[in-house]
Chains A and B, each alone.
Chain A
């Protein structure tokens, strides 16, 4: 156990060095995978296993000891028992057992003023009963359903988080990189309130209301993104969605102002961000470079050389390795791709090796290739 403690410390130090602006001993490896990916790897029934806390815990341990990540790689973000109690329509289990997110509308366009007046109250009064049909009932029944669901949520996570910490120590891994999550105000408005198509119409029909709504939502998103244990090593995860689908002038007008304030206010509160920069943000790299120094950006797509040049001096870069290559490439092709990216992104530090997506489907990412690549990176990418 003492040897594992030492390994954990060494791995923690890789991330601490990065966060404090030093070049670490080697490039750290942080792989992300949904718990259902591990279930497929283990050959268990994904539809059944998501109802079973003990199986989820077994999957967390299996991933910790198998995939050669420096951080425990499993993400457990969707809890079937909770969604079942609530009658969720926004997260439903598909035939493969994966939780899917249909395009739903939690808010109608005529309700902007109500949202702007009190976003948290509006969320409880209007949005939640539309996303969770068992909350669309009498006040007394709604309180009972909410209480049951929150109890289930607490029962699950009060075991999952300590279990992740325990297996991380057991296998000599670094501490987790994420303290909590929040969302950019415009993304929040789009994702579960107005939907992709709804917000696309709103920015033409009610532009001032959209701007006011983003400003009104901001304090709630800031609050969601700060925990007592937030730190440069335990960051606020922010998955970014809508910007690549916006015209640049709409990005400047609707998306950027409150997103920038969010990241700045989090950093000022000691909760630096870990952005998952979904899709291709090439048009917006100069904007990203304006964010507080040391923001971590996990990119999905883009030119690694351009990203390194534009944001890699000031910020920590990760991602960009095409996960799907692990599904179709040979082991050597996968390793060659890792070498190519490391040669571009690792010089000067500020780099964590990650794939460009969270692994969800086994056919997208051959586990043998994933393990071979992570082992190669740890050996090759020494400073």
Chain B
């Protein structure tokens, strides 16, 4: 499956490359970062479906 890429979408791997994520809090940072990226994506899709 092709991974979804866009200048306007930050995947978790993109986020880790672009930010200095505290090693012992990776799980918490992901859980409190990525859902908001996904929520914007979901809402965007609703607007065009």
Please report A residues at the B interface, Cβ cutoff 8 Å.
86, 106, 118-121, 123-124, 127-128, 131-132, 149-150, 153-154, 180-183, 188, 192, 218-220, 222-224, 265, 268-269
Contacts and interface: CB of A to CB of B under 8 A. Distances in A.
A222 B1 contact: yes
Contacts of B47: 86, 128, 131-132
A118 B49 CA distance: 18
Nearest to B6: A120
Q: Which 6 A-B pairs have the closest CB atoms?
A: A120-B6, A223-B4, A219-B2, A224-B45, A219-B4, A121-B8
Given A188-B48, A265-B1, A268-B1, A153 B6 contact: no
Nearest to A154: B39
A81 to B, nearest CB: 13
A192 B45 CA distance: 11
Nearest to A187: B49
A223 B44 CA distance: 12
Contacts, number: 64
Given A124-B44, A153-B43, A224-B42, 9 more contacts: A118-B8, A120-B8, A131-B48, A149-B43, A180-B42, A188-B48, A219-B3, A224-B41, A265-B1
Contacts of B26: none
A118 B7 contact: yes
Nearest to B41: A223
A154 B3 CA distance: 26
Contacts of B43: 149-150, 153-154
Contacts of B1: 219, 222, 265, 268-269
Contact of A118 (B3, B6, B41): B6
A335 to B, nearest CB: 36
A231 to B, nearest CB: 18
A119 B9 CA distance: 11
A219 B2 CA distance: 6
A219 B44 contact: no
Interface in B22-48: 39-48
B14 to A, nearest CB: 13
Contacts of A192: 48-49
A151 to B, nearest CB: 10
Contacts of B49: 181-183, 192, 224
A378 to B, nearest CB: 32
Contacts of B42: 180, 224
Most buried by A among B5, B7, B43, B47: B47
